[in-house]
Amino acid sequence: MPAIEGWFTTDDSPALLGNRCTTCGTVFFPKASFYCPNPGCQGEQFEETPLSRVGRIWSYTDAQYQPPPPYVPRSQDYTPFAIAAVELADEQMVVLGQVADGYTVADLKVGQQVEMVVEELFTEGDTEYQVWRWKPIAEASS
């Protein structure tokens, strides 16, 4: 199950879920609530909207040491993971996410194309909690 409700879909073509102010059209992620955060807008109504599934890496790093709680480690032996900030062209928005399993910073470049995937964040008892991740995609060389 998703580690957080309502932030992303988990179907075959998963996407982050933002919302769009029906008054000014601005897209927000995570979803805006109550009132539109655009100071020039009086909007109070939003419609859910999936974000672009593909973007380009704005920057990236990794976590060589295990983060403190409420981070939940996946196993006793800590394995470093990478994190990317990804620029979505249509939304003109940068969204953070861990990088998909199996990739390290050595596999990443600023400007590289990635797509959103859903993977295990951690497992507690029999329940697997899932999160969105950014996965590098091969681009045709020009």
Partner 1 sequence: MTDVVVAGVGMHPWGKWGRNFVEYGIVAARAALADAGIDYRDVQFVSGADTVRNGYPGYVAGATFAQALGWTGARVASSYAACASGATALEIARAEILAGRCDVALVVGADTTAKGFLAPNAGDRPDDPDWLRFRLLGATNPTYFALYARRRMALHGATERDFAEVRAKNARHGLGNPNARYRKAFSVDDILASPMVADPLRLVEICATSDGGAAVVLVSDAYAKRIGISNPVRVRAVSTVTPAFPQTIIEMPHFATDSGVTSDGVTPFKDSIAKAAYEEAGLGPEDLSLAEVYDLSSALELDWYEHIGLCKAGEAERLLHDGDTTIGGRIPVNPSGGLACFGEAVPAQALAQVCEVAWQLRGQAGDRQVEGARVGLTANQGLFGHGSSVILSL
Residues making contact with partner 1 (CB under 8 A): 3-4, 26-30, 37-39, 58-65, 67-72, 81, 83, 85, 91-98, 105, 109-111, 121, 131
Q: How far is the CB of 68 from partner 1 (least distance, A)?
A: 4
Question: Which C-beta is closer to partner 1: that of 45 or that of 104?
Answer: 104
Q: How far is the CB of 99 from partner 1 (least distance, A)?
A: 11
Question: Which C-beta is closer to partner 1: that of 46 or that of 81?
Answer: 81
Q: Is the omega angle on the peptide bond into residue 70 within 30 degrees of 0, that is, cis?
A: yes
Calpha distance 83→60 (Å, rounded): 6
- Pair of tokens at residue 99: 């990088």
- For residue 107, give the DSSP letter: G
Question: Which C-beta is closer to partner 1: that of 13 or that of 39?
Answer: 39
Residue 9, C-beta contacts closer than 8 angstroms, at least 6 positions apart: 15, 17, 50
